[in-house]
Structure 1
Amino acid sequence: MDRIDAMRAFVSVVTEGSFSNAATAMQLSPQLVSKYVSKLEASLDVRLLHRTTRKVSLTEAGTHYFQHAQQILLSIDEMDAQLGGLQQNPKGTLRISAPVSFAIKHLSQLLTEFQLQYPQVNVDLQLNDRKVDVVEEGFDIVLRIGQLKSSSLIAKQVAPIRLMLCAAPTYLKKHGVPRQAEDLKYHRYLHYSYMDMAGKESIFKWLSEKNSEMNGDFHCNNGDVLVGAAIAGGGIVLQPSFIASEAICRGDLVEVLPELAPEPVGLYAVYAHRKLLPNKVRCFIDFIEGYYGSPPYWDQAIIDMQD
């Protein structure tokens, strides 16, 4: 048995959802695909899939094996693509989806430099903070912020994303500086609609409580608007440093309760696993990797200001 072919059959069954769909995608018979997967399980001495007449699902061992197999096959395909297309210039339209605020602040220069290096690549950038479907909506790459769950998609981290609790000095002078988490319930909080990007740290117990002594909750699905409201003295806001850093460096906002800041999340480039990754996608992934620095330049600006 060719281990790589068997691994491809297994990954295809998982991503396509059934043996018949995998067979169609691989241009093989369902019987051969089933044979590959069965022999793979036999060689590993572990069951990878639960099979019923209606569907297949991963076992616990299958979940772990799928993640590793996917990365192994991706590495093999990328190596083949690099060797086979070494002399080929990437071209075509690259469809990218990205979060609104991040794109406005931090994508313009990157995309300009990318197209200067690869002038035959057209870029179609769509801005949206909702969770788009990479495959169904026809995107080559989706830039996504958060703590990503395991899926059949490939996700490469581009940069860490630090979350900061901030307020304007004028607001804090009027309402007091919170010294502990419990103090937050006495402050006006500017709510970000997609709060799940930050996880479920204990700080949200206080940010989400409705027993604030201040009236007039403010909810918005855009971080720039919320940061602007915080600068104007509207309350306390929890937002990524890539949005708040300029205001912090100017002194328009100050960080409060830094010890309660959630763990950093990540900016990821997400794309569908394909047998042969298009040159335009591979070149963009290579280009964006490490582009923003370590730490990212927006965090470095805060560090430099504090030194």
Structure 2
Amino acid sequence: MQLNALRYFAMVATTGSFAATAKHFQVPPSSVSRFISALEQELGQQLFYRNTRSVRLTEVGEKYYVQIRDVLDTLDIANEQVTGKASSVKGLVRVNTAVALGRLHISGMINKLQEKYPDLSVELILTDSFIDPVQEGVDIVIRIGALQNSALISRKVCDQQYVLCASPEYLKKYGRPETPQDLQKHICLVYKGLSGNQRWYFRQGSDDKPIVLEPQGALRSNHAEVLVSAALEGRGIVLFPTWIFDKHSFKQKKLMPLLPNWTATVDPHAAAIHLVSPENRIRSQKVRTVIDFILNEIGETPYWDNIF
């Protein structure tokens, strides 16, 4: 069994493409196909379903991929350390984050990252459910909210800053709330996540007991951008972190911040953003490079907080 066959197999499993794998390794597509066919023959198992439109793993292929990916990662780390080529950033890095954060911010950073490191391949996985990076084979998780697995290595990116806001048209029609309790008389645009409708928490001092509201309105959604769009159209009040909003919405007075003397969140406690990795992944130079790049792009004070 040749190591190249395993590397080609892992890349095809990730990209779903023989052509992309061939391009990554700078070999003819026929070589990739030949190596994988030989691997399947040696194992006596079909690893991929192939047709003219797509390539996808069989059930056996999925199990095999899970078993070999850690072996390949460990080998890459060992090669980096022994050969002294840690400065050469190449190979595959798998990154997971929330759908909205990934679409609005992380995808652009990945584009810039690959311009700087053209030999680096990235698999960007967007999902709003919490995943186990060890089980899923993910190198970096950009996690919003509380950390639960202490076995993971984490670096804090920032605390989230929330903005309660509405359009000038809405405020002209319904008036401006002066206290959190006033929101019970207003139309709120409610985010409904995996754990149900979000609650809104308001404090004037960091040690104060929060005022907890269950916002009510005619529109609920599990997609934050849908609710922001509705707010821009004058349909209600929203509460979201600053990274959700286009900064021009405030600078051009399309949205107006509300209750400026109150600190609002959607969690009982401050919810930060962290970069999280399994311990064995963080030893890889390519993973550390991606983490450092993302942190540098966001900045010590996140650029998305500058929205007013």
Q: Which band: TM-score by shorter chain? A: 0.5 to 0.7
Flag the 1:207–1:246 CA change in 2: closer, same or farther, 3 A: farther
Name the structure 1 match of 2:290.
Answer: 284
Paired residues, what number? 218
User: What is the CA–CA distance in structure 1 between the aligned matches of 2:286 and 2:136, rounded to whole Å?
Assistant: 18
Return the alpha-carbon distance in structure 2 between the equivalents of residues 182 and 276 of structure 1.
Answer: 46
For the Cα contact (< 8 Å) 2:202–2:263, is it kept in 1? no
Seen in structure 2, the aligned counterparts of structure 1 residues 147 and 276 have a Cα distance that, compared at 3 Å, is closer
Q: TM-score, normalised by structure 2?
A: 0.63
CA 1:141 to 1:105, structure 2 compared with 1: closer, same or farther past 3 Å?
Answer: same
Within the alignment, does 1:233 sit opposite 2:239 as a pair? no
Letter in 2 for 1:261: T
Partners in 2 of 1:276 and 1:106 — Cα distance?
22
Contact conserved, 1:85 with 1:279, CA < 8 A, in 2?
no
Is contact 2:187–2:237 with CA below 8 Å preserved after alignment? yes
Residue of structure 1 in register with 2:38 after alignment: none
Structure 2 CA distance for partners of 1:276 and 1:168, relative to 1, 3 Å: closer
Query: What value does the CA root-mean-square deviation take over the aligned residues?
Result: 2.9
Give yes or no for contact 1:227–1:237 (8 Å, CA) kept in 2: yes
The separation in 1 between residues aligned to 2:187 and 2:96, in whole angstroms, is 33
Query: Whole-Å Cα distance in 1 between the matches of residues 223 and 147 of structure 2?
Result: 20
Structure 1 residue runs of 5 or longer lacking an equivalent are 1-77, 303-307
Which residue in the other structure is 2:48 paired with? none
TM-score, with length taken from structure 1 = 0.63
Is structure 2 residue 98 aligned with structure 1 residue 99?
Answer: yes
State how far apart, in whole Å, the 2-side matches of 1:200 and 1:255 are.
Answer: 15
Match for residue 169 of structure 1?
A: 168
Q: Which residue of 2 aligns with 1:185?
A: 184
**In structure 1, the residue corresponding to 2:306 is in which secondary structure?**
helix
**Are 1:182 and 1:206, in contact at CA under 8 Å, matched by a contact in 2?**
no
Matched to 2:214, the amino acid is: S
**Residue number in structure 1 paired with 2:201:** 201
How do residues 59-208 of structure 1 correspond to structure 2 at under 5 angstroms? Answer: 85=84, 87-149=86-148, 151-194=150-193, 201-202=201-202, 207-208=213-214
* Per-residue deviation, residues 44-66 of structure 1 (Å, max 9, x unmatched): xxxxxxxxxxxxxxxxxxxxxxx
Call closer, same or farther: CA 1:257–1:275 in 2, change over 3 Å: closer
The structural deviation recorded for 1:87 is 4.6
The 3 A distance-change label for structure 1 pair 82 and 171 is farther
Which whole-Å CA distance do the structure 1 matches of 2:290 and 2:166 have between them? Answer: 37
- Name whichever of 170-179 and 259-268 sits farther off: 259-268
- 5 Å matches for 1:31-42? none
Unpaired runs of 5+ residues, structure 2, are 1-76, 204-209
Does residue 293 (structure 1) correspond to residue 294 (structure 2)? The answer is no
2:278 is aligned with 1:269 = no
2:254 equivalent among 252, 255, 265: 252
Q: What SS does structure 2 have at the residue aligned with 1:238?
A: strand
Return the offset for 1:275.
Answer: 7.7
Once the two structures are TM-superposed, the CA of residue 141 in structure 1 deviates from its matched residue by: 0.9
Amino acid at match of 2:222: N
C-alpha offsets along residues 147-174 of structure 1, whole Å, 9 cap, x if unaligned?
3346221121223321111111111111
Tell me, yes or no, if the aligned pair for 1:140 and 1:271 is still in contact at 8 Å.
yes
